[in-house]
């Protein structure tokens, strides 16, 4: 077990901890907007940490490229679906217009 | 049991049930958030599982799941929006 493997496991464990803790924390809030705030660290922090750990474990290879692709997809699409869900919540509560922004 | 499998079990055993629980109760927007969280957690768990069993060919599943869960969530946001 070398230093890179230890670092990989540490990054992976940190990412898993972020995902698990934010999932549990999102149970404790009531409003959808607050829940969306807890969804953000999962995609913006937990996903890159898990991806970094897996890439360090695999080294430079096609496997790492596919892991980076998958994590990048999650990190890019996470804020998009979070903002879309927040917009739906605001529309259902009558806070914003139902027309698309121009 | 290696470290990857322990992390995978934490994701599948703790985070995924919590996400499914959020997605199974409350109003429609709460359930949508639970669906989004479930998609992310399931994709990460599949990534970890591929590493745990040392089968890189399994990585195609989380790659496709990341795309499909995004598209599915956007479809649900469209359907849940109130009609003008």
Prediction ipTM score: 0.90
The range of the structural domain enclosing residue A55 comes to 3-92
CA-based R_g, chain A, Å: 17
Decide if B33 and A84 are in contact by the 8 Å CB cutoff.
Answer: no
Residue A102 has pLDDT above 60, yes or no: no
Asked if residue A102 is part of any domain, the answer here is no
Evaluate the CA torsion angle B43, B44, B49, B55 in order and state its sign: positive
Q: Which residue has the higher pLDDT, A73 or A96?
A: A73
A73 lies within 8 A of chain B by CB: yes
Asked if residue A99 is part of any domain, the answer here is no
Q: Is the pTM of this model over 0.90?
A: yes
Report pLDDT digits (tens) over B39-78: 999 999 999 999 999 999 999 999 999 999 999 999 999 8
In total, chain B counts a number of residues equal to: 84
Please write down the long-range contacts of A89-93, taking CB distance under 8 Å and 24 or more positions apart.
Answer: A89/A32, A89/A33, A89/A36, A89/B29, A91/B81, A91/B82, A92/B28, A92/B29, A92/B80, A92/B81, A92/B82
Q: How many domains are contained in chain A?
A: 1
Q: In this structure, what token pair is assigned to residue A77?
A: 């699409």
Residue A28 has pLDDT above 70, yes or no: yes
Asked if residue A98 is part of any domain, the answer here is no
Residue A17 has pLDDT above 60, yes or no: yes
Name the nearest CA neighbour of B40 among A25, A44, A34. Answer: A44
Decide if B62 and A70 are in contact by the 8 Å CB cutoff.
Answer: yes
Decide if B47 and A67 are in contact by the 8 Å CB cutoff.
Answer: yes
Report pLDDT digits (tens) over A34-89: 888 888 999 999 999 999 999 999 988 999 999 999 999 999 999 999 999 999 88
What confidence score (pLDDT) does residue B1 get?
A: 77
């Amino acid at each position: 077990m070398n230093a890179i493997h230890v670092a990989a496991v540490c990054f992976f464990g940190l990412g898993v901890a972020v995902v698990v803790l934010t999932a549990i924390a999102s149970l404790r809030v009531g409003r959808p907007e607050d829940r969306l705030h807890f969804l953000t660290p999962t995609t913006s922090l937990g996903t890159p940490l898990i991806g970094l750990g897996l890439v360090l474990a695999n080294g430079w290879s096609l496997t790492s490229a596919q892991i980076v692709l998958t994590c990048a997809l999650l990190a890019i699409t996470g804020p998009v679906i979070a903002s879309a869900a927040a917009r739906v919540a605001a529309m259902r509560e009558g806070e914003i217009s139902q027309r698309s922004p121009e | 049991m290696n470290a990857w499998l322990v992390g995978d079990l934490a994701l599948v055993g703790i985070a995924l049930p919590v996400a499914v629980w959020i997605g199974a109760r409350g109003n429609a927007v709460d359930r949508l958030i639970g669906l989004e969280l479930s998609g992310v957690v399931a994709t990460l768990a599949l990534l970890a599982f591929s590493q745990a069993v040392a089968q890189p060919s399994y990585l195609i599943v989380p790659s496709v799941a990341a795309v499909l869960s995004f598209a599915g969530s956007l479809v649900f946001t469209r359907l849940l929006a109130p009609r003008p």
